Amino acid sequence: MVQRATSGPRPSWWRAPAALFAGGLPAPAFPAPGWWWWAPFCLVPWLLLRTAPTARRAALEGWLGGLGFMLAVHHWLMPSLHVFTLVLAALLGLAWAPWGMLARALLAGPGTAWRAVTAPAGVASGWLVIELVRSWQGLGGPWGLLGASQWQVGPALRLFPVGGVWLVSLLLVAVNTALVVVAASPRARWATLAAGAAVAALATGIAAAAPRPVPADRAARIAVVQPGVVPGAAQRFDRQERLTAGLAGRGAEMVVWGESSVGFDLAARPDLAGRLAALSRRTGAELLVNVDARRRGRPGISKTSVLVGASGPTGPRYDKMRLVPFGEYVPARSLLGWATSVGRAAGEDRHPGTRQVVMETSGGLRTGPLVCFETAFPDLSRRLARAGAGLIVAQSSTSTFQQSWAPAQHASLAAVRAAESGRPVVHATLTGVSAVFDASGRPVGPRLGTDRSTTGLYEVRPASGSTAYVRFGDWAVYAAVAWLAVAGGVVAVRRVRGRGDR
């Protein structure tokens, strides 16, 4: 009997589904499960697939893992986008194909002390570049960044002000990679542990020495109005009006309504503007509302934050700048407009704003507004802090995803933005989860769940000063890109020299 020659080891049938499953394992680290302790280990099964026989196979398994990650972290979009969720996840998952090849190159083969030091840095840098690329608004924005899963962890809250969510993501992936090196390469174990201890000591020292925000001497009393699920713009306005009236005499300085809390142009409805002004006089507080309507003299529909005082709307208005892809506009509508026929994609594009503003109340409270999806973007809250805002207010609505993980995930982002910017963040929603966090990212008072139709009154201390992240921005991302560039250059030079020696 003649045996057929084989060209090499054949991939096992289980590797593809294993990569798909492993890619989804980080999802429980985020709310609602909130298994934050899982984040330092969640990538280990995916990274153990480093034994792919070829670089092409590693790229395939990287893509499948990316597909699994995007589906698991964004599964709550399925009721809105249906099959289009799978299409988007497959496209965005391609960003992990090069990462699969990078992980194979750095982790496959015998372990050495040099690899123990460089592999965690390289794999983590590659992951961070992927997070940066998919954070572009047109690709869905920075939802599900791994570092954001640590929003309630003390050490992470001290690192967010240093390097933002990017630094925490970088360190988490490095820890996952180091665990793989320790498990698979006994010879590199001590070098890996020593490098890890050095990085931990350095991070601790930097966090301790980093500049901190300066809280104000006087606390501001901020009220949040959460009407719950109410059908119809007129009925929602009425309920918010009744809830706000109940705050009279309680000393609130500002009352915050959620995103799309007013469904009519106040200039075209002076009766509603008058009712809001009357509420301001009755409560002794200014109202920050959000108008989701067409405005006179402007094209399309805008989502606009408006501060209303005793005499009516006052100060600069803020138009939401970062719109939700498919939810508030359809990218390349001429090509992707068919998404409106298979899900609840936007039938008409919203009109984006062009600049951020800082609003000031009559009592001198300087507030920087954000609208819903915008709390996912680290740069927006950082700019507001640099512009002099002492408090950041996020007006949101996740009523479409009421029974999913989305409301809790969205509220958790406010804690990350607070710690990064060194500013308290008030996250006010129509239907929950509403929450408030101080300048260090720690919760202030009880949060309002999705089952509540109520108000909440919170005491927060506005802050001034700059964190390291506000001053230096996304330096962790730049460091990751630089590491990859230098490492790529070294490999290229070695290959050229190797060819020359032949």
Query: pLDDT tens, 125-168?
Result: 999 999 999 998 878 889 999 999 999 999 999 999 999 999 99
Mean pLDDT confidence for 412-417 = 98
Mean pLDDT of the chain: 89
Q: Inform me whether the pLDDT recorded for 330 exceeds 90.
A: no
- Contact (Cβ atoms closer than 8 angstroms) between residue 423 and residue 381: yes
**Of 84 and 369, which is predicted with more confidence?**
369
Shortest CA distance to 288 belongs to which of 393, 425, 374? 393
Q: Where are the domains of the chain?
A: 15-211+474-501, 215-321+356-466
In eight-state DSSP terms, residue 325 is B
Shortest CA distance to 372 belongs to which of 309, 327, 315? 327
- Contact (Cβ atoms closer than 8 angstroms) between residue 34 and residue 78: no
Distance CA 169, CA 175 (A): 10
Tokens of 409: 């995930």
Distance CA 367, CA 256 (A): 11
**Of 289 and 188, which is predicted with more confidence?**
289
Give residue-wise pLDDT tens across range 244-276.
999 999 999 999 999 999 999 998 999 999 999
Give residue-wise pLDDT tens across range 432-490.
899 999 999 999 999 999 999 999 999 999 999 999 999 999 999 999 999 999 888 87
**Of 340 and 488, which is predicted with more confidence?**
488
Residues contacting residue 438 through CB under 8 Å, at least 6 positions apart: 418, 424, 444, 460, 461
Task: Say if residue 342 is preceded by a cis peptide, omega within 30 of 0.
Answer: no
Residue 38: burial class (beta carbons within 10 Å; 0-12, 13-18, 19+): middle
Q: Give the helix ranges, DSSP H, for 109-149.
A: 113-134
Q: Give the helix ranges, DSSP H, for 435-474.
A: 468-472
pLDDT at position 338, please? 62
**Of 351 and 113, which is predicted with more confidence?**
351
Mean pLDDT confidence for 291-317 = 88
- Contact (Cβ atoms closer than 8 angstroms) between residue 368 and residue 387: yes
**Of 62 and 210, which is predicted with more confidence?**
62
- pTM of the full predicted structure? 0.92
Give residue-wise pLDDT tens across range 51-60.
788 889 999 9
Q: Say what the alpha-carbon torsion angle 73, 76, 79, 83 is, to the nearest 10 degrees.
A: 0
pLDDT at position 5, please? 45
Give residue-wise pLDDT tens across range 159-200.
999 999 999 999 999 999 999 988 887 777 777 888 888 888
Q: Work out the angle at residue 382's Cα, subtended by the Cα atoms of residues 379 and 387, and round it to the nearest 5 degrees.
A: 125
In eight-state DSSP terms, residue 348 is S
Shortest CA distance to 456 belongs to which of 238, 151, 246? 246
CATH of domain 215-321+356-466: 3.60.110.10
Residues contacting residue 331 through CB under 8 Å, at least 6 positions apart: 138, 325
pLDDT at position 2, please? 41
pLDDT at position 312, please? 93
pLDDT at position 1, please? 40
Distance CA 227, CA 241 (A): 9
| Residue showing tokens 């060819």 | 499
Give residue-wise pLDDT tens across range 1-18.
444 444 455 557 788 999
- Contact (Cβ atoms closer than 8 angstroms) between residue 409 and residue 174: no
Give residue-wise pLDDT tens across range 347-366.
677 788 899 999 999 999 99
Of 109-118, 196-205, 322-331, least confident by mean pLDDT is 109-118
Residue 404: burial class (beta carbons within 10 Å; 0-12, 13-18, 19+): middle
**Of 76 and 357, which is predicted with more confidence?**
357
